[in-house]
């Protein structure tokens, strides 16, 4: 049980400012997922929580107690490293057992734990093998078991499923969710995979260049993005963004666009020509050339053909507005301003 709080935390590597003035609270007992582009500082953040890559300045608190300078071993934290970092000279069993032995867990209990977690990650038959003779995915599962078995207060996972095949990944995902439900401890999980983030998270923390772009539940981060970056990062394909004549930006999700053969009044509507068509099964993805912009559209209507002339239209409630810096303008920021934006959007229609 632990809440982690960052206060004005900075991390520099020599001159490179990776993280600056970061404030973040990771809630106790929640499954928090960190997402962000490669190199944005996710691993750096985890390492600061673990205490193995200390912050350059600022404070980190765990349950209100400052842990900025506390040794990693005193933090009750387990971590799955991005590149596994398993002990190469030890067998799978010894790898899993090492932390338990150091904590003086009695032998019988150790045996039971190893058996249980080897079962969970599916490594029972490999317990006496050396990591060098195992595949990448199997090694990754050693790292998972080694961290899980310690039952820590905070569980850090740096892309722990990246090397597993689709089936195993889904299986491990369920295991982790179950584990979280069972242990009710704080999980911090890093991933590149949006689907993974959306499906597992209680809270998603979206990072970009060392900054937190948004911290919210999966629903909110999808339905109510704070800025253009979030709007475009979450959701596949990303949100369509259009520059408005007044300097603001307008956005709408590909899956909220409707297509028709005739123009529609009273909302944003634009004529266009279908460039490509991808059939995804239940849905179809169209790329539509609308003159200045090309829009992505995802709909359940498969019967438009390539080269066909169509009209796309988006209902007012599915339009998002952002200012010139990319920050969201909401209805609650001013009714009049919002009405004006909607009117401007309608004015951009071209039929």
Partner 1 sequence: MSDLTLQRQAKRKLNGKFIRNQVFSWALVLPAILFLCLFTFYPMGNLVHLSLYRGNITNPYKTFRGIENYLDILVRRPQFMTTLKNTALYVCMYVPICLSLSVIFAVWLQKARKINNFAQTCFFAPHLVATISSAFMWSWIFSPESSGIANGIIKVFGFNTHNWLGSSSTAMVCVMIMNTWASIGHHALIFLSALKSIPGEVYEAAELDSSSAVKTFFKITLPLLSPQIFLMLITMTTNSFKIFESVRQMTGGGPGISTKTVCMFIYDNAFETNNTLGLAGASSIVLTIILMLITLLDFKGLEKKVHYQ
Ligand X SMILES: Nc1ncnc2c1ncn2[C@@H]1O[C@H](COP(=O)(O)OP(=O)(O)OP(=O)(O)O)[C@@H](O)[C@H]1O
Where in 41-60 is the site for partner 1 (CB under 8 A)? 47, 50, 52
Q: Compute the least distance from the CB of residue 333 to Mg ion, in Å.
A: 35
Q: Compute the least distance from the CB of residue 255 to ligand X, in Å.
A: 27
Where in 63-92 is the site for Mg ion (CB under 5 A)? 82
Measured CA to CA in angstroms, residue 102 lies from 84, 95, 98, 106, 316 at distances of 20, 12, 6, 11, 61
Q: Residue 227 gets which letter from DSSP? A: B
Across 238-347, the runs of DSSP E, i.e. the strands, are 240-243, 249-252, 258-260, 268-279, 284-290, 293-299, 309-314, 320-322, 328-329
Do the beta carbons of residue 180 and residue 187 sit within 8 Å?
Answer: yes
Residue whose C-alpha is closest to residue 20's, from 212, 230, 192, 188: 212
Do the beta carbons of residue 117 and residue 99 sit within 8 Å?
Answer: no
Question: Among 14-22, 39-47, 73-81, 211-219, which window interacts with Mg ion (CB under 5 A)?
Answer: 39-47
Number of residues counted as binding ligand X (CB under 6 A): 12
265 lies in the binding site for partner 1 (CB under 8 A): no
Measured CA to CA in angstroms, residue 203 lies from 75, 140, 162, 278, 320 at distances of 23, 24, 20, 32, 22
What is the rounded CA–CA span in Å between residue 2 and residue 249?
40
Question: Among 70-78, 110-118, 183-191, 217-225, which window interacts with partner 1 (CB under 8 A)?
Answer: 70-78
296 lies in the binding site for partner 1 (CB under 8 A): no
Do the beta carbons of residue 312 and residue 332 sit within 8 Å?
Answer: no
Closer residue to ligand X, CB minimum distance, 47 or 270 = 47
Where in 50-109 is the site for ligand X (CB under 6 A)? 82
Q: Which of partner 1, Mg ion, ligand X, none does 86 bind, CB closer than 5 to 8 A by kind? A: partner 1
Closer residue to Mg ion, CB minimum distance, 81 or 229 = 81
List 205's β-bridge partners, or say none. Answer: 34, 215
Question: Among 13-21, 55-63, 284-292, 331-339, which window interacts with ligand X (CB under 6 A)?
Answer: 13-21
Q: Compute the least distance from the CB of residue 320 to ligand X, in Å.
A: 26
The residue to which tokens 């959007």 are assigned: 345
Closer residue to Mg ion, CB minimum distance, 81 or 252 = 81
Question: Among 1-9, 75-83, 209-217, 341-349, which window interacts with partner 1 (CB under 8 A)?
Answer: 75-83
12 lies in the binding site for ligand X (CB under 6 A): no
User: How many residues in total does the chain contain?
Assistant: 351
Q: Compute the least distance from the CB of residue 235 to partner 1, in Å.
A: 33
The binding track of 80-109 with respect to partner 1, each residue x by CB under 8 A or -, is: -x-x-xxxxxx-------xx--xx------
For residue 41, what are its two tokens? Answer: 């500082």
How, if at all, do strands 249-252 and 258-260 pair? unpaired
What is the rounded CA–CA span in Å between residue 302 and residue 283?
7
Closer residue to ligand X, CB minimum distance, 16 or 280 = 16
Give 339's Cβ-side CA count (13 Å radius). Answer: 3
The binding track of 268-297 with respect to ligand X, each residue x by CB under 6 A or -, is: ------------------------------
Residues lying near partner 1 in the complex (CB under 8 A) are found at 47, 50, 52, 71-73, 77-79, 81, 83, 85-90, 98-99, 102-103, 132, 146, 150
Residues lying near ligand X in the complex (CB under 6 A) are found at 13, 16, 18, 36, 38-44, 82
Residues lying near Mg ion in the complex (CB under 5 A) are found at 43, 82
């Amino acid at each position: 049980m632990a809440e982690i709080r960052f206060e004005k935390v900075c991390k520099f590597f020599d001159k490179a400012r990776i993280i600056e003035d970061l404030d973040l609270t990771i809630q106790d007992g929640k499954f928090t997922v960190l997402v962000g582009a490669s190199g944005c500082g996710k691993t750096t953040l985890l390492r600061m929580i673990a205490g193995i890559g200390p912050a350059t300045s600022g404070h980190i608190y765990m349950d209100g107690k400052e842990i900025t300078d506390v040794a990693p071993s005193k933090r009750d934290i387990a971590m799955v490293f991005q590149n596994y970092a398993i002990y190469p000279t030890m067998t799978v069993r010894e790898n899993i057992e090492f932390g338990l032995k150091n904590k003086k867990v009695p032998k019988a209990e150790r045996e039971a734990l190893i058996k249980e977690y080897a079962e969970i990650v599916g490594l029972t038959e490999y317990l006496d093998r050396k990591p060098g003779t195992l595949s990448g995915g199997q090694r990754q599962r050693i790292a998972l078991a080694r961290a899980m078995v310690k039952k820590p207060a905070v569980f850090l996972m740096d892309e722990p499923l990246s090397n597993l095949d689709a089936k195993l990944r889904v299986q491990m995902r369920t295991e982790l969710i179950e584990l979280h439900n069972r242990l009710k401890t704080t999980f911090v999980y890093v991933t590149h995979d949006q689907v993974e983030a959306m499906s597992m998270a209680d809270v998603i923390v979206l990072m970009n260049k060392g900054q937190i772009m948004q911290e919210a539940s999966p629903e909110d981060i999808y339905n109510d993005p704070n800025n253009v970056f979030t709007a475009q990062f979450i959701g596949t394909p990303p949100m369509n963004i259009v520059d408005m004549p007044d300097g603001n930006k307008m956005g709408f999700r590909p899956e909220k666009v409707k297509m028709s053969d005739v123009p529609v009044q009273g909302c944003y509507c634009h004529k266009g020509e279908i460039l490509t068509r991808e059939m995804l099964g239940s849905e179809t993805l169209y790329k539509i050339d609308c003159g200045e912009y090309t829009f992505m559209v995802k709909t359940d209507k498969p019967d438009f053909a390539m080269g066909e002339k169509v009209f796309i239209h988006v209902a007012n409630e599915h339009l998002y507005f952002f200012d010139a810096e990319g920050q969201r303008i909401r209805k609650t920021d001013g009714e009049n301003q919002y009405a004006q934006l909607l009117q401007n959007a309608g004015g951009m229609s071209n039929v």
